[in-house]
Amino acid sequence: MEGGAGAKLIKLLLFVFNLFFLLCGMALLAIGIWTAIDRVYLSRIIGTVLYETAGYMLIAIGIVVVVISILGCCGSIFENKCLMISYFVFLVVIFVILLVGSILAVAFRADLENLMKKTMNDSLINQYDHFMHPDITDAWNMAQRMLNCCAVVDSGWEDYRASFWFKQQNVMETEKIYVPKSCCARNYDGTYANLDYCQKPSGSMPPKTKLGSTNLFLYYDGCFTKGFEMVSAHGWVIFSVAFVIALVMILGMIGSISFVRMLEWD
C-alpha cells in the first residue's frame, strides 16, 4: 500500500466507523422488529399497513446497513479496491434513499395525521364490535388498554354513542353501557378499578356528559393523541439513529474515496 502512515490511519478509521455503522444497523433492525410486531394493532385501527410497513422498511434498512458495514470492514482490512468502490456506491444509494424518505415524511406529515384521524373515527363508529370486523375490535381494545386511551380524540369517549357497538345494545336505556371496558382505568394488578362507574351514566358525570367532576375511572386521552405521542417519541429514536448513520455515511464516503486513491492497482 502507498501512503504510509496516512493510509494506515484512514484504514483504521474506516474500520472503526464501520463497527459503529454495524451497531447503528443492528439498532434499526431491533426498532423495526419491535414496530412490526408489538405495535401492529395501530395499523389495524388506522386502516392502513403504513405503520406496519414502516417497521418492515426499518428491518430492511437495518439489514442493508449491517451488510454494508461488513463490506466496508472487509474492504479496509483486505485493502480490496473493488470492495471499497462497491462500499462507496452502496453508501451513496442508501444516503439518497434516507434523504428522500425524510423529505417526504416532513412534506406529507399533516395529510397523514388527518387521514389517520378520519380512518380511526370511521373504524370506531362503523366497525367496532361488528361481527364482520373482529380484528378491528381486538385492535381497538388492545390500543385502549396499552395506551390508556379511549376513542379517537381527547374526551372523545362520547363518540361511542354513535357507534354500531352502542346502537346494537338490546337492553333498556338505563342498562346501556356507554364505553367498552377497555376504556376504563385499571389497578396495578391489571384488574379494572370500577367498571360500573366508568361505563354507566352517573348524574352529570362522564360518560353521560362532559360536564361535572372528572371520572377517575375513565380514560380521557384519545387514542390518536396517545398513539401520535408514541409514534413521535419512537420517531425521535429513529431520527437520532438515522442522523448518526447519515454522519457515519458521509465520513465513510470520504474515507473510502481517500482509501481507494491510496491503494495500488493489483
Cross-strand pairs, 218: 184
Angle at 176 between CA 174 and CA 177, to 5 degrees: 125
CB neighbour list of residue 149: distance below 8 Å, 6 or more residues apart:
143, 183, 219, 221, 222, 223, 225, 226, 227
% of the chain surpassing 70 pLDDT:
81
What nine digits make up the cell of 58? 426499518
What H or E segment, with its residue span, contains residue 232? helix 223-262
% of the chain surpassing 90 pLDDT:
17
d(CA 147, CA 156) in angstroms, rounded, equals 15
What pTM value is reported for the model? 0.65
CB neighbour list of residue 50: distance below 8 Å, 6 or more residues apart:
43, 112
What nine digits make up the cell of 174? 338505563
The count of C-alpha atoms lying within 13 angstroms of the C-alpha of 36, restricted to the half-sphere facing its C-beta, is 14
On whether the CB atoms of residues 81 and 89 are closer than 8 A, the answer is no
The count of C-alpha atoms lying within 13 angstroms of the C-alpha of 161, restricted to the half-sphere facing its C-beta, is 12
What nine digits make up the cell of 261? 486513491
Which carries the bigger pLDDT value, residue 36 or residue 206? 206
What nine digits make up the cell of 20? 459503529
d(CA 259, CA 73) in angstroms, rounded, equals 12
Residue type, 209: T
Residue type, 128: Y
Q: Could you tell me the residue ranges of all domains in the chain?
A: 3-108+239-264
Sign of the C-alpha dihedral, residues 163, 166, 169, 173?
Answer: negative
Per the prediction, the chain carries an average pLDDT of 80
Give pLDDT, residue 7: 63
What nine digits make up the cell of 131? 361481527
Q: How confident is the model at residue 164 (pLDDT cuts 50, 70, 90)?
A: very high
- Letter string b/e over residues 99-135, b meaning 16 or more CB atoms within 10 A of that residue's CB: eeeeeeeeeeeeeeeeebbebbbebbbebbbeeebee
Q: How confident is the model at residue 266 (pLDDT cuts 50, 70, 90)?
A: very low
Q: How confident is the model at residue 265 (pLDDT cuts 50, 70, 90)?
A: very low
Give pLDDT, residue 181: 93
